[in-house]
Amino acid sequence: MKIKKFTARTFSEALELVKKELGQDAIILATEEKKGLRPHVEVTAAVDYDAEAVRNAEFGVRKEPQKNKARTTDRQFDEDAGAVFTPQTYHSALRTPHSAMAPDSAEGLRGEIAGLRAMLESMKNSGYEMALPAKKQAVLTFLRERAIREEFALRLCDKTTDLAELPLLISSDIRIKRDQASRKAVMVIGPTGVGKTTTIAKLAAQAVKAGRKAAIINLDTWRIGAVEQTRIYARILGIPLASAANAADFSLHLGRFAESRDVVFIDTTGRNPRDEAYISDMAGLCRTTVPMELHLLMSAAADDQCMIEAHRAYQKLPIDYLGFTKIDEAARFGALYNLLCTYQKPVAWLTTGQRVPGDIEPATVKRLAGLIMNREQVAVSGS
């Protein structure tokens, strides 16, 4: 485990240093704001390091640094130094006896690391890490309650200590699709169960209502009943449907529909985004001469880590827009803000239920900011 103290002018700058050196998995142990002639902030962060550092952390042992290494502070060590906990940190947070934390196997070591991670999370949840002015702490608490990640919450705290100013600041980080007109082809991708088929039906229904000639291509030949479900929607809307089991079929159907239809909606298979072969196949389908826009759908009810993991895999594809489904099923919307801040993609659509052709709306900055702040009620189907 590696622990280090970072100094910067603002919390957001310090957190950038943390992410750059320790990575996304770093845990914030302490933050402190220093006044004086040169005001600054200090952020202490930790990340899993190696087995030797873990054992040193348990006993409070510190190696002698190399001569060419700078001396470290009480809670800081570099590549050649073990972790050092202050006595109050160690004794208040770590109560596991050594006999239970002395693994003789790789599995035992993983358990030890997991235990230390739990210890750090416990310290974090107890409020140990924060030493902020009262107003800034109130804003941070408000944002945390809305599931906004700490690094983004602290960045907002740097800009204001007034809760009334948060909607405007959050709005400045949100991008939306300004021109709701689509290209010739619209492909929708996303994890299993996110609502791709239903969303395709809603988008096709809107196109038909607007007087556009639409068609649907279904690539979901894996899921039982997927083609039949899409066929029912197409029959109701009075538009043609084609099923493609491979890249050659897809190219043939897309070229044919592109000549006779105003817009072609493409429903894809929901698969594990970590399946590299699947991602590679999807990348091949995106290489077409027909103008296409690619929408990544994410469930608003998914937690923050699920969203980040999914987008990390799908970002290998030329994604144009995000879409959030199941707004009606989510309790908090901070994960949406985290994703938007991390990947800077515009949002095209929000869906709020299962009704076709209803329960879909173009994304707006005001709507998204209201959801993130938990100041908007979500209309549920049938209510």
The verdict on residue 170 lying in a domain is no
Written as one letter, the residue type at 1 is M
Q: Are residues 117 and 261 in the same domain?
A: no
Question: Alpha-carbon distance 181 to 201, whole Å?
Answer: 17
The single-letter code of the amino acid at 312 is R
Residue 29 lies in a domain: yes
Residue 274 C-beta-side C-alpha neighbours within 13 Å: 4
Check whether 79 has a pLDDT greater than 50.
no
Q: Look up residue 176 and give its DSSP letter.
A: B
CB neighbours of 132 closer than 8 A, spacing ≥ 6?
31, 33, 140, 157
Tokens 């826009």 locate to: 293
In angstroms, rounded to a whole number, what is the distance separating the alpha carbons of residues 124 and 130?
A: 8
pLDDT, one tens digit per residue, over 241-270 is: 999 888 899 999 999 999 999 999 999 877
Judgement on whether residues 200 and 339 belong to the same structural domain of the protein:
yes
Total domains in the chain come to 2
Non-local CB neighbours of 131 within 8 Å, separated by 6+ positions: 30, 31, 32, 33
Look at residue 278 and tell me if it is in a domain.
Answer: yes
pLDDT of residue 224: 56
For residues 45 and 162, which has the higher predicted lDDT (pLDDT)? Answer: 162
How much is the pLDDT for 171? Answer: 95
Q: Which of 131, 160, 176 is the last residue of a domain?
A: 131
- Structure confidence at residue 320 as a pLDDT band (50, 70, 90): very high
Q: Residue 61 gets which letter from DSSP?
A: -
Cβ atoms of 181 and 287 closer than 8 Å: no
Same domain as 222, residue 322: yes
With vertex at residue 113, the alpha carbon angle to CA 110 and CA 115, rounded to the nearest 5 degrees, is 110
Q: State whether 213 and 113 are in the same domain.
A: no
Q: What are the CB-based long-range contacts (under 8 Å, 24+) for 116-124?
A: 116/1, 116/48, 116/54, 116/57, 117/27, 117/48, 119/93, 119/94, 120/27, 120/29, 120/46, 120/93, 121/27, 122/93, 123/29, 123/89, 123/92, 123/93, 124/27, 124/28, 124/29
Residue 107: predicted pLDDT: 57
Segments forming the whole domain that contains residue 94: 2-131
Question: Which residue would you say has higher pLDDT here, 373 or 13?
Answer: 373
pLDDT, tens digit (0-9, with 9 covering 90-100), for 123-143: 555 545 546 778 888 998 999
Picking from 131, 146, 169, the residue at the C-terminal end of a domain is 131
Same-domain status, 101 and 243: no
Same domain, 121 and 28: yes
In a domain, 157, yes or no: no
Q: List the beta strands (DSSP E) in the chain.
A: 2-8, 27-34, 40-47, 130-131, 185-189, 214-218, 241-243, 263-267, 292-299, 321-325, 347-351, 360-362
pLDDT tens for 237-249 read 999 999 988 889 9
- In which band, very low, low, confident or very high, does the pLDDT at 221 lie, cut at 50, 70 and 90? low
User: Same domain for 191 and 117?
Assistant: no
Residue 307's pLDDT is: 86
Q: What is the mean pLDDT of the chain?
A: 77
CATH number for position 361: 3.40.50.300
The answer to whether position 282 is within a domain reads yes
Q: Are residues 122 and 204 in the same domain?
A: no
Residues 126 and 189 in one domain: no
Whether the pLDDT of residue 278 is over 60: the answer is yes
Q: Are 184 and 264 in contact (CB under 8 A)?
A: yes
Residue 345 within a domain: yes
Same domain, 118 and 230: no
- The answer to whether residues 288 and 365 belong to one domain is yes
Last residue of a domain, one of 131, 153, 171: 131
Least confident of 9-23, 146-160, 322-336: 9-23
Asked whether residue 382 is assigned to any structural domain, the reply reads no
Please check the confidence at residue 6 and state whether its pLDDT lies above 80: yes
Is pTM beyond 0.75? Reply is no
Do residues 161 and 140 touch, judged by C-beta distance below 8 A? no
More confident residue, 287 or 378: 287
Residue 176 within a domain: no
- Measured CA to CA, the distance from residue 33 to residue 184 in angstroms comes to 53
Mean pLDDT confidence for 110-129: 54
| Whole-angstrom distance, CA of residue 369 vs CA of residue 42 | 30
Residue 375 is predicted with a pLDDT of: 66
Same domain, 207 and 316: yes
